[in-house]
Structure 1
Amino acid sequence: MAVQEEINLATIIDLQKHPINDDHYREKCKVELDKSGVLVLDNFLYEGSIKSILSEAKKQENLAYYCVNEHNVYLNPFDKNLSKNHPRNKTVTSSKGCITDDQVPKKSSLRALYNSLKFKDFLCDVLDETVLYKYDDNLSSINIHFAKEGQELGWHFDNSSFAITLLIQKPKAGGQFEYIRQFRNSNIKDNNYDGVLNLLNGNCIPEKLTMENGTLVLFRGKDAIHRVTPTIGDRTRILSVLAYNSRPDVSLSESARMTFFGKLY
């Protein structure tokens, strides 16, 4: 079983460029993530793997649930005790399509990557986690996001301590990942309202990531505010989110499943 997994992994990941089993490589990745809050691994998957995953995504795109959400950057309920112009209550827009874990083919290279023990072991070392678990519901572990022309992900902080994404298809233009590190301190409940207001008024210059197809990104977004700018052109931006938990038996809340997936099961 373990041998078979290694064979499969070696056909998916470019292990020459990204030797995820090597302790020195893992330490190098961890240092970079700890230093800058983001780890960008270009050409993580072989071109053939990405083409296969892209073909699967396009075949399933008609199943995607599209939604437009108005939310604040904190992804929390609005505070009625504050004005509509307060940063806690100012709204941004997120719009995308999404297919859920149960719609990803069982034999997909994407699922093989997600389930790989070696891949999860690599992630644990880099993220400083003891163990990683899939979501307990059948929708949330692997998601594929589709952003057609004009669709975007508005400014926000993540609720989770880390995010893992794989770019499957870049758009012709737009779809730029932008972020500002250490923009709040959630540990002491400092929400940096003044900084957020400046950002929403266009007075801050964020950092930008350049990504090609097959790029794996590990990102700490709990205190780093970030967004994806609107897609420009007729080529859909397609991105997979690989979602894990540090505890077993965790499901995404029913309200979140209805909001993002349009269904509970």
Structure 2
Amino acid sequence: MLNADQLADAERLDLSAFVNTERYPLDDPDSPALVEVIESARRDLDREGCAVLRGFLHPSVLEQAREESSRMAEKSFFNTRQVNAYFTADDPSLPDDDPRRIFMTRTSGFVTRDMITADSLIHRLYVSRAMKSLVARCLGEEQIYEYADPFAGLVLNVLPDGTQQPWHYDTNEFIVTMMTQQPEAGGVFEYCPGIRTPQDENYTGVSAVIREDDSTPVKRLDLRPGDLQLFKGRFSLHRVSEVQGDTPRLTAIFAYSQQPGVVGKLERTRQLYGRVAEQHIQAEARYAERTDGLID
């Protein structure tokens, strides 16, 4: 039988049971060590659009995180389809080399928040007040919020042998992830920081990356289980290369937003998770009000 301390709790400040608090003293927000971590993360985000908090999870719980996520992975929804970087339909009026006309095979699995139990380590981390405070401070935000989306707020991404996430952008300006199981080979996170802006999609540059033009700079990140990654994925094209071997790549995705009430777009939700909820249908009309000019 579970007690309250073993369940996800949005008021929780003490994460010492999971987090390497010697390196990341979340229980002491004003400590010089934590302030330096935050300042370093801000510099990395400003310069590269990406920051990694190495060894964020305490070594003693790495196996727990792996075992829990491995069990969850058995419930994952798998879907294979051809997508472009924007998750939009083909437009034959565009040139063949326009990135909106370059479609890639996306085969990956997801376990959505509604299937992740409240006693799991990743769920307890996601809702924690201490976790949200850390992420907000690293991003220079006054406050961040959990997604209101019943599926996409907390997701376990499952990439077995032969699967990948092709080049794409994130719906939100930033995303937080933590690998819980590393594959035997492949599964490398690759990205192009700041390749587009709210004023310029930079289709020429994006096309060059997708077509693997050797002159296009692509950064590759060596991630390990227990590392916490903060990434500005709305403006940085990124992918996970094909996984190889019998051990799936498992990654928890913690989705936060600068505003409360964020729900994913209807068609993108259908493509990723194979189903939609009433919240997605109701929210669809609101996306017409976005003002940043980006097509996704």
TM-score by length of 2: 0.82
Following superposition, the deviation at residue 205 of structure 1 comes to 4.2
Give the corresponding residue for 1:148: 160
Q: 1:249 aligns with which of 238, 261, 273?
A: 261
Instruction: Report the AA paired with residue 191 of structure 1.
Output: E
Give aligned pairs, total. 261
Q: Which ranges of structure 2 fall in alignment gaps of 5 or more residues?
A: 278-296
| Stretch moving more, 210-219 or 130-139 | 130-139
Q: Name the CA shift for 1:209/1:263 in 2 (closer, same or farther; >3 Å).
A: same
Q: CA offset at residue 117 of structure 1?
A: 0.7
Q: Which residue of 2 aligns with 1:187?
A: 198
Equivalent AA in structure 1 for residue 154 of structure 2: I
Q: Quick check: 1:75–1:157 contact (8 Å CA) kept in 2?
A: no
Aligned 1:195-206 pairs, distance under 5 A: 195-203=205-213, 204-206=216-218
1:55 maps to which residue? 67
Aligned pairs (5 A) from 1:10-159: 10-20=16-26, 21=29, 22-159=34-171
TM-score (norm 1): 0.91
% identity of equivalent residues: 26
Cα-to-partner distance string for 1:5-55 (whole Å, 9 max, x where unaligned) = 344x01111011123423333222212221221101111101232321221
Q: Cα RMSD between the aligned structures?
A: 2.0
Instruction: Give the Cα separation in 1 of the matches to 2:161 and 2:80.
Output: 14
Residue aligning to 1:5 = 12
Evaluate the alpha carbon distance shift between residue 122 and residue 58 of structure 1 in structure 2; reply closer, same or farther with a 3 A threshold: same
Matched residue type, 1:17: R
| Alpha-carbon distance in structure 2 between the residues aligned to 1:202 and 1:256 | 25
* Structure 1 SS opposite 2:157: strand
Query: Which 5+ residue runs of structure 1 have no aligned equivalent?
Result: none
Deviation at 1:129, TM superposition (A): 2.1
Residues of 1 paired with 2:48 and 2:21: CA distance? 24
Which residue identity does 1:133 align to in structure 2?
Y
Q: Deviations over 1:145-184 (max 9, x none)?
A: 1101110010122232111100011100000011122222
